[in-house]
Amino acid sequence: MADKKVWLITGAGRGLGLYITKAVLAAGHSVVATGRNKEKVAQAIGEAADLLVVTLDITKPAEAEVAVQAAVNRFGRIDVLVNNAANFYAGFFEELSPEQMNQQLATSLIGPMNVTRAVLPVLRQQKAGQIITISSTAGLVGFEFGAAYAASKFGLEGWMRSLAPEVAPFGIEAITVNPGFFRTELLTEESTSFADTHIADYDERREGQEQFWKGYNGQQWGDPAKLAQALLTISGEEKPPRRFIAGADAIGTAEQVIADLQQDIDSHRALSSSLAYDEPAAASK
């Protein structure tokens, strides 16, 4: 296979990461599948000749470096990094503890940075490679009960948009993926946590929110197997997009964000345009 590539995928043992891993292997590529529990990852994927399973907690930079070295030792290179591993701390901001906010950011924002930092020297040396980071529509718009998660995804957006021009001269492509609601395992008890603190003023709304998120698991519109195939398609394009809006619901959200932003611009265009510094008039002689 002339275009055979080596993919390093985080959170590969369950959810979207597992679908991506199986799709990439089925397409004939090699995969370095990572997760916090190496045995569970291996069991979920099964045996494959071009598969290397490595322990990786993305919140630990040293483990990222070890995983990257293991990938290079086995396959000699890394062509595609998929920053997929994430979790979801749901709750009203005031009820989320500082520790929960820190944990959300450590996993969903700093974690991808840790892995990317470890992979970049390999990609720079090759003068080629792709960094595919799974964001969310929550990286485009905030939502009630999602302050922590949206904060982490908005952070990913700014980081990836800044990273792209920094690494482009080395032949490295940075691609952000914004999925809508896909039927993954993000909303299972293993991946979703709720706020520790309860404040009476939020009681009624909290109950409704928790019922929605718990009940929505398994009811999401999108098919993660199709999303995995879409990522293979994008990765194989001669010029991949810098952003892929994944799902009809995600397109609807993105279009509404554009419309809202245009409305905000137009509503105060004159005031905004009047803020230039007025240079003092030259003194007359």
Give the number of C-alpha atoms closer than 13 A to the C-alpha of residue 145, restricted to the C-beta side. 17
8 A C-beta contact, residue 51 and residue 45: yes
Better-predicted residue by pLDDT, 187 or 130: 130
Its domain, for residue 11, covers 6-250
258 occurs within a structural domain: no
Distances (CA, A) of 100 to 142, 186, 234: 18, 16, 34
Active site residue 202: no
275 occurs within a structural domain: no
CATH code for the domain of 89: 3.40.50.720
Segment 38-44 mean pLDDT: 97
pLDDT of 128-171, one tens digit each?
999 999 999 999 999 989 999 999 999 999 999 999 999 999 99
The domain tally of the chain equals 1
Segment 187-204 mean pLDDT: 78
Instruction: Please enumerate in sequence order all residues whose Cβ is within 8 A of that of 255, keeping only pairs 6 or more positions apart, or say none.
Output: none
Which is the catalytic residue, given 19, 89, 149, 202?
149
> Per-residue confidence at 260, pLDDT binned at 50, 70, 90?
very high
Segment 84-90 mean pLDDT: 91
> Per-residue confidence at 88, pLDDT binned at 50, 70, 90?
confident
262 occurs within a structural domain: no
174: tokens are: 């940075």
210 occurs within a structural domain: yes
1 occurs within a structural domain: no
Looking at 15-24, 110-119, 216-225, 266-275, which range is the least confident one?
A: 216-225
Looking at 62-76, 214-228, 256-270, which range is the least confident one?
A: 214-228
135: tokens are: 């964001």
Residue type (1 letter), 250: A
Q: Which residues pair with 182 in a beta bridge?
A: 222
Q: Is the pLDDT of residue 1 over 50?
A: no
The 3-state DSSP class for residue 129 equals strand
